[in-house]
Every structure is written in C-alpha cells, then in structure tokens.
Amino acid sequence: MDSGSTRATDTDDSSPIVRAEGVTKRYTRGTTPGFFGRLLGRREPPTVTALEDVSLSIDAGEIVAISGPSGSGKSTLLHHLAGLEVPDTGTVTIRGQSTSSLSRKRRTRLRLEQVGIVFQHFHLVESLSARANVALPLVELGVPTSERKRRATDLLERVDLGDRLDHRPGELSGGEQQRVAIARALVTDPALVIADEPTGELDSETGQRVLETFQGLTADHAVVLASHDQSALAIGDRRIRLQDGAIVEGTDTAETHDQQTQAKVE
Ligand SMILES: Nc1ncnc2c1ncn2[C@@H]1O[C@H](COP(=O)(O)OP(=O)(O)OP(=O)(O)O)[C@@H](O)[C@H]1O
C-alpha cells in the first residue's frame, strides 16, 4: 500500500468536498529590496490582497459559479480550492485534508487524486495524441498502461471524440481541444472539478456545446467554475460574486444556501 496516498476513503461522506475558511492571500508586486537596496532607500514593493477572508463550502453534486470583474480574485480562489496554492491565513480543506498541513508532494498527490482542472487555454501537450493527453494524470498515479488506455478511450467517447483518439491537439478545433481537456480532468474520477473560464477561448455556439458536455459529465462531482460568460455562469446551482478579493454576493456556505432555498420554498 502507498503510505503517501491521500485517498480519503476514511473521510465522512457527508462532509463538504471542499471548504475554505477565512482565506486571505496577498501577493507582492515586484522584488523585495535586499540589505543594500534598503540602505539606498529602496521601498518595499506594494502588496496586492487577492483574497480577503473568503469562506466557502461546496458539497458533492453542487455546481458553484463564481463571477466578478477582472482582478477580483476568481483564479486565485480556484487555485486555492484546487490545492495549487495555499493561503497566507485561513484554511482550505479538500475532503477533510488541510492543504496547508501537507508537504508539497502530498498536496500534489491529493490534487491528482481528488481534483480535476479545466483551464481556459486547454493546456494540452502538443506532442501527444488526444488519448495520451487524457491518460496523463493516470501515468502520474501509476495506473497500468492497458487500464490507462481503456479509461482515456472511454472518456473521449463520452465527450464524442471516439473518432479522434490519435489526433494531436493541433489537429483539433478549439471546442474539441476543450473537450479533450474536460476528459483529462475527469479521467481520475475526481471528487472536485475546477474550471477557470472554460469557454473563454470559444465562440458562443461552441462554448454552449462544451458547457452541455461539461454539465452532463460532472453531475456526480462538486464543480466550481469561474467565468465572465453569462451562459457558463448560468449552469451554476449557486452563484458567488467576488469584488476586490471578497465575496460580495451569493452564499458563502452550503448551509446558508440550504437555509435560503428553504426560505424560498416556505
Ligand atoms: N502570482 C501573482 N503575483 C502577483 N499578483 C498576483 C498574482 N496572481 C494574481 N495576482 C493579483 O491578484 C489579483 C487577483 O487576480 P486573479 O487572477 O485571481 O483575478 P481574476 O478575477 O481571476 O481576474 P481575470 O478575470 O482577469 O482572470 C489581481 O490584482 C492580480 O494582479
């Protein structure tokens, strides 16, 4: 057995898939002056607060859509929920495991096992076929070749690309490339799917088709997507709006969401 595995089979299934509590993240713009720089009176570079005390809890089967103006912190929040970055203060727990408490190696493992990510710019490997691209996360998890091929083929068939298995990304349209990226995000059967502006590179008709594919495939997963595109945001069960790194609209916890839904029903 792999003692480094973070597979959370022993976690409570009723707990949220991902939870952010009081997450704050600041970035420094530019370089911090060294000793001589300070002697010469060079100033400390300005800091940007990308996230400010953000709390959010997402359950299995929920699609949460995040909107907000450019620079409001959407990508930063997604990176934290995916375990790509860790907060300065506050915590992010993925299936009960705090990302800040793990070594980089175990955090990578947690991400590989529990999170699938779809980026705006597809991020496919140009030299690999569609099937090899989809199978990549399974290589990193040590899944045997025949199983990798089977799962990648199955996923590509589910996104209607069963006849494009051996095509390289450059031989596929933008919509097809994004469907390959969606298949790759789902090949490990992750608990959480993160999508950052998934239709940003696509025309509206292609984007709509990609969204339908995405929605059909992610029904059993917790999904967080960020977008400027209203049709992408419309697939959310719950909407959250960020402004200057803080949640200004929408529910910040699943419980509040439940209470609001309850209130609407009453
Ligand atoms: N690595 C970084 N170093 C310095 N500043 C950063 C870094 N990443 C993000 N920021 C800053 O943090 C703030 C939030 O950025 P973020 O990319 O999360 O916004 P966004 O809402 O996703 O924007 P967009 O809609 O344009 O993609 C911005 O002011 C940005 O310049």
Average pLDDT, the chain: 88
Q: What is the pLDDT of residues 50-71, one digit of tens each?
A: 999 999 999 999 999 999 999 9
Q: What percent of the chain has pLDDT over 90?
A: 71
C-alpha dist (Å) from residue 21 to 74, 125, 137, 182:
16, 35, 29, 28
Q: What is the pLDDT of residues 67-125, one digit of tens each?
A: 999 999 999 999 999 999 999 999 999 999 999 999 999 999 999 999 999 999 989 99
Residue 221 tokens read as 């997963």
Nearest atom in ligand 1 to the alpha carbon of residue 77 is 18
Residue 81 tokens read as 């929920």
Q: What are the residue boundaries of the structural domains of the chain, listed by start?
A: 18-265
Q: What percent of the chain has pLDDT over 70?
A: 89
Average pLDDT of the residues in 146-162 = 95
Residue nearest to atom 29 of ligand 1 (CA): 71
- The whole-number pLDDT of residue 45 equals 76
Residue 215 tokens read as 């929605």
Start-to-end C-alpha separation, the chain:
50
Q: Has residue 142 got a pLDDT over 60?
A: yes
What is the ipTM, given to two decimal places? 0.98
Q: Give the integer Cα–Cα distance in Å for 14 and 234.
A: 26
Q: Has residue 240 got a pLDDT over 60?
A: yes
Residue nearest to atom 28 of ligand 1 (CA): 71
For ligand 1, is residue 46 a contact (CB within 6 Å)?
no
Average pLDDT of the residues in 241-262 = 68
70 CA distance to ligand 1 middle (Å): 8
For ligand 1, is residue 27 a contact (CB within 6 Å)?
yes
Q: Are 61 and 171 in contact (CB under 8 A)?
A: no
pTM value? 0.86
Average pLDDT of the residues in 199-219 = 88
Residue 11 tokens read as 């976690």
Q: Are 183 and 215 in contact (CB under 8 A)?
A: no
- The whole-number pLDDT of residue 8 equals 42
Residue nearest to atom 12 of ligand 1 (CA): 50
Alpha helices in the chain (DSSP H): 35-39, 74-81, 104-114, 130-140, 145-158, 174-186, 204-217, 230-233, 254-265
Nearest atom in ligand 1 to the alpha carbon of residue 72 is 21
For ligand 1, is residue 31 a contact (CB within 6 Å)?
no
For ligand 1, is residue 246 a contact (CB within 6 Å)?
no
- The whole-number pLDDT of residue 251 equals 59
Pocket test for ligand 1, best of 32, 49, 54, 72 (most atoms within 8 A of CB): 72
164 CA distance to ligand 1 middle (Å): 35
For ligand 1, is residue 6 a contact (CB within 6 Å)?
no
49 CA distance to ligand 1 middle (Å): 9
For ligand 1, is residue 68 a contact (CB within 6 Å)?
yes
Block residue for tokens 């199983």: 147
- The whole-number pLDDT of residue 34 equals 81
Q: Which CATH number fits domain 18-265: 3.30.70.100, 3.40.50.300, 1.10.10.10, 3.30.360.10?
A: 3.40.50.300
3-state secondary structure of 58: strand
Q: Which of 41-50, 63-72, 189-198 has the lowest mean pLDDT?
A: 41-50
- Give the bridge partners for 89, in sequence order: 24
